[in-house]
Every structure is written in C-alpha cells, then in structure tokens.
Amino acid sequence: MASTKAPAGVNGPTRAAIGVKTLRTDRWWLAPLTTFVVFSSFVVYATWRAFAGGNPEQGHYMVGDYLSPFYSPCLTDKCGSAADFGTPFNGFPLSAALIILIFPLGFRMSCYYYRKSYYRAFWLSPPACAVAEPHTKYTGETRLPLILNNIHRYFWYAAIVVGVILTYDVVLSFQKFGVDGHRSGHVGLGTLILLVNVVFIWLYTLSCHSCRHAVGGRLRHFSKHPVRYKLWTWVSKINVHHAKFAWYSLFSVAFADLYIYLLSNGTISEARFF
C-alpha cells in the first residue's frame, strides 16, 4: 500500500486550518513592497555603476581626492592616482569595482536583517508575520546560494577591512594636493558626504550580530573579562538599531557614489567650505 506524504508548509498538520491567506486587516504588504522597490533600485544603480569601469575619467568614480566607495580600494592599473594600495590585478579586463564589491555585497546579503528583508520582499517566505507563504516546502540555508549565508562572519571580517580603507579615503579627502604635490587642508561638500557615509558604514558594521558575538561570545564569566564585557555592552546598545543603520548606510554609499559621479562629469560643482 503506497504511503501518502503529509502536506507541508502552511498546510501542514500542525498549522491552523485557515482558508484565507491572512486575517490581518492592516497594510501588511506595504513593508515588503517598499523593501522590494528600494532594494531593486539599489541593485540596478550599483550594477550600472560597477560596470562603468575604465579609468577614473571614463567611469567617473574619482575626482580630485574623492574616490567612490564602490571602487575603493582600486587595485588595477586603470586607477591612476587612486591606486593607493598597489595594483595586484594589472590587466584585469573588467571593471575594478567587481574585485571589491563582492565583499561588502556578501556582507550585506548574508546579514541577518537583510535576510529577513529580502526573504519577505523577493521570495515571500513569508511576506509578513501571520501571512501564509506560497511555498509548500522549506529547505533552509542548506543549498546554494543560501548556504553561503553561513559564512556571514567571514564577510564581517572583510567588512572591517573595507571600513578601514574607506576611513583612509575620508582622511585623504580632507587634504588637497597642489600642482607641486604639496598638501593643504580642504573641506568640501564631498568631504562631508564621505565622512557621513563612513560613519554609517561603521555603525552598520559594528552593530552586526557577528560583531556582538565576536567581542562577547563564548564567555562563561563576564566578570573575568571586563574589557570584552564593556565592548559587548557597547555593541549591544547599537545592535538594537542595526536595521536602521543597514538602511542609512545603503542610502549613504549610493549617494556618495552619485555625488562623485555628478561632480566628475561636470553636472555639479563642488561646494568648498575650507
């Protein structure tokens, strides 16, 4: 006698037998729809800018001492004066941004908050709390590509390095190079935009759950580790705002790149304060 497999998902035997998709009467669809639109827009914009490629003049990712965060650090022979960390990828045929973006992109895509957001917005798994999902089975993060989410902590390590490099770029943006190579103080609108961006990048990176575990995880007695306990309490305070910093840093990195692009192609002029 052939056995019949019990239904899975929302029709499983342990789920309430509710015939409608949801009993919610609020606009539950607004949050996943907003996430879908914003994330899709960012992906389209970032893809366009990442494939701009070429040298800084062609790709408009560097002007003066401002380097787009999408291209930092620039590691190819096309970067010119932007290659502060050498050119180990000489002859790379594609855009220089493609060498770098895999790390911050991997960090964001495997982020716990972003996972919840794009699972709901793109895969409807589930689209919202107390709303039935259309899938009949759940495989978890055990197959490609979702299994890559399990290495989120290693992407966090890479994000720390990227944060340090972006901070270095901000320091350079406060210095203006003259024709004789002499450095002088400089504060422009681009400087402030890059500064705000790197602050949001650090807040997003340091409020990560992996950071919280790295500084205070696997400790039996906090009293024996006062320094790590202090760091853990500080990270815990900003961890509750991790979702906000995820959004803020997403907007700031795109805006910083857009400003440099518009400044480089002559659409706008730099406002200098000092």
141-177 pLDDT, tens digit per residue, is: 888 888 889 999 999 999 999 999 999 999 988 886 5
Looking at residue 178, its pLDDT comes to 46
Q: Where are the alpha helices (DSSP H) in the chain?
A: 30-50, 56-59, 97-100, 102-109, 112-122, 152-173, 189-206, 209-216, 226-239, 242-264
Instruction: Label residues 73-94 b or e (16+ Cβ within 10 Å = b).
Output: bbbbebbeebbeeebebeebee
Tens of pLDDT, residue by residue over 39-62, are 999 999 999 999 987 778 888 999
The Cα 121–Cα 11 span in angstroms is: 22
The Cα 236–Cα 49 span in angstroms is: 35
Average of per-residue pLDDT across 229-257: 96
Average of per-residue pLDDT across 21-31: 89
Question: Which of residues 96 and 199 earns the better pLDDT score?
Answer: 199
Residue 105 has pLDDT above 90, yes or no: yes
The Cα 194–Cα 65 span in angstroms is: 11
Tens of pLDDT, residue by residue over 65-97, are 899 999 999 998 888 778 888 889 988 888 889
Looking at residue 9, its pLDDT comes to 60
Residue 112 has pLDDT above 80, yes or no: yes
The token duo for 57 is: 């003049």
Q: What is the pTM of this model?
A: 0.88
Average of per-residue pLDDT across 8-29: 75
Tens of pLDDT, residue by residue over 205-237, are 999 999 999 999 888 888 999 999 999 999 999
Three state DSSP letters for 206-245: HCCHHHHHHHHCCCCCHHHCHHHHHHHHHHHHHHCCHHHH
Task: For the chain, give every domain's residue range.
Answer: 27-131+147-264
